[in-house]
Amino acid sequence: MGLVRLQKFLADAGVASRRASEKLIVQGRVTVNGAVVDALGCKVEPGGVVVAVDGQPVRVRRKIYVALNKPRGVLCTRSDPQGRPTVMDLLPKEWGGLFPVGRLDLESEGLLFLTNDGDFSLRLTHPRYGIRKRYLAVIEGRVGEAELGRFTAGIEDEGELLRAERVRLVQSNNSHSTVEVELAQGRNREVRRLFGALGHEVAELRRTQVGPVRLGELPPGKWRVLSGAEVKSLLPEQG
């Protein structure tokens, strides 16, 4: 399989994201064949060494990548103390070790990935990778092209600069408007905040695409396993 960096090995095994795995290493919590490795740069051959974290051997797990059409009213979390439905309720019980990649708020719906690969999660959620996400928003009232032009210029909100990479008015009338918005920053509730800054309330919000992967005809509440080609397309220039 070749040599890989120790932090990537840990991320691939589902221990933690690559960044969090680096912290485990420098904290002296990782051993390779019984010897503590506390400096970054170490490379290992998966299957050829015994790696442990806090004394517990790390076993490389089969990596799973799932696309889910999250319905409204379902939480993007592994569990909820109030007993509300979560995305984990929609998956087979044997996939209880998966975790959501990023978030969709309670009232939003659409494409969500779940995985046990921490490195995959980091690359799709960290702003430096600029993975674009496309949304379809239904807005109360009429929205004009001139208003939407402010999205790509950037809008200041709560000390943050919110900005869309692309925005397209699909249709508009006096009661509702439908707008397609493409983002790369991934700030919290960014689409709703963009429209809120213009005085418009979002009635419906659906994520339709992440990177090159589309929601397509996947029904609400249903899931499918990503193909190898789709996973590769979402992880450019790994190393």
- Please report, for the domain that includes residue 224, its CATH number: 3.30.70.580
41-65: pLDDT as tens digits:
999 988 788 999 999 999 877 889 9
What band does 238 get if pLDDT is binned at 50, 70 and 90? very low
| Chain mean pLDDT for the chain | 91
* Averaged pLDDT, 106-119: 93
For 116, list phi and psi in degrees, rounded to 5. -115, 15
Q: What's the sign of the alpha-carbon dihedral 201, 143, 182, 150?
A: negative
Two tokens, residue 44: 């290992």
- Judge whether 183 and 160 are in contact, CB under 8 Å: no
User: Exposed, middle or buried by CB within 10 Å (0-12, 13-18, 19+), for 1?
Assistant: exposed
Whole-number pLDDT of residue 214 = 97
> Is residue 239 included in any domain, yes or no?
no
The H-assigned helical ranges of 83-227 are 118-125, 145-153, 190-197
> Is residue 116 included in any domain, yes or no?
yes
Whole-number pLDDT of residue 236 = 62
Q: Are residues 37 and 106 in the same domain?
A: no
Q: Are residues 39 and 69 in the same domain?
A: no
Q: Are residues 139 and 202 in the same domain?
A: yes
75-99: pLDDT as tens digits:
999 889 999 999 999 999 988 889 9
Kind of pairing, strands 56-57 and 160-162?
unpaired
Output the domain CATH number for residue 43.
3.10.290.10
147-203: pLDDT as tens digits:
999 999 999 998 899 999 999 999 999 999 999 999 998 788 999 999 999 999 999
CA geometry: angle 42, 43, 44, nearest 5 deg: 125
Total domains present in the chain: 3
Q: Are residues 42 and 74 in the same domain?
A: no
Measured in whole angstroms, the distance separating CA 137 from the mean position of its chain's CA atoms is 19
> Is residue 14 included in any domain, yes or no?
yes
Q: Are residues 221 and 206 in the same domain?
A: no
Whole-number pLDDT of residue 25 = 96
Residues contacting residue 215 through CB under 8 Å, at least 6 positions apart:
67, 69, 110, 111, 206, 207, 208, 209
Q: So which residues are the catalytic ones?
A: 105
Whole-number pLDDT of residue 237 = 56
Identify the DSSP state of 173: -
Residues contacting residue 71 through CB under 8 Å, at least 6 positions apart:
109, 220, 221
The range of the structural domain enclosing residue 17 comes to: 4-57
CA dist., res. 7 & res. 86, Å (int):
30
Whole-number pLDDT of residue 180 = 98
Q: Are residues 19 and 117 in the same domain?
A: no
The pTM score is: 0.77
CA-based nearest residue to 133, from 181, 66, 193: 181
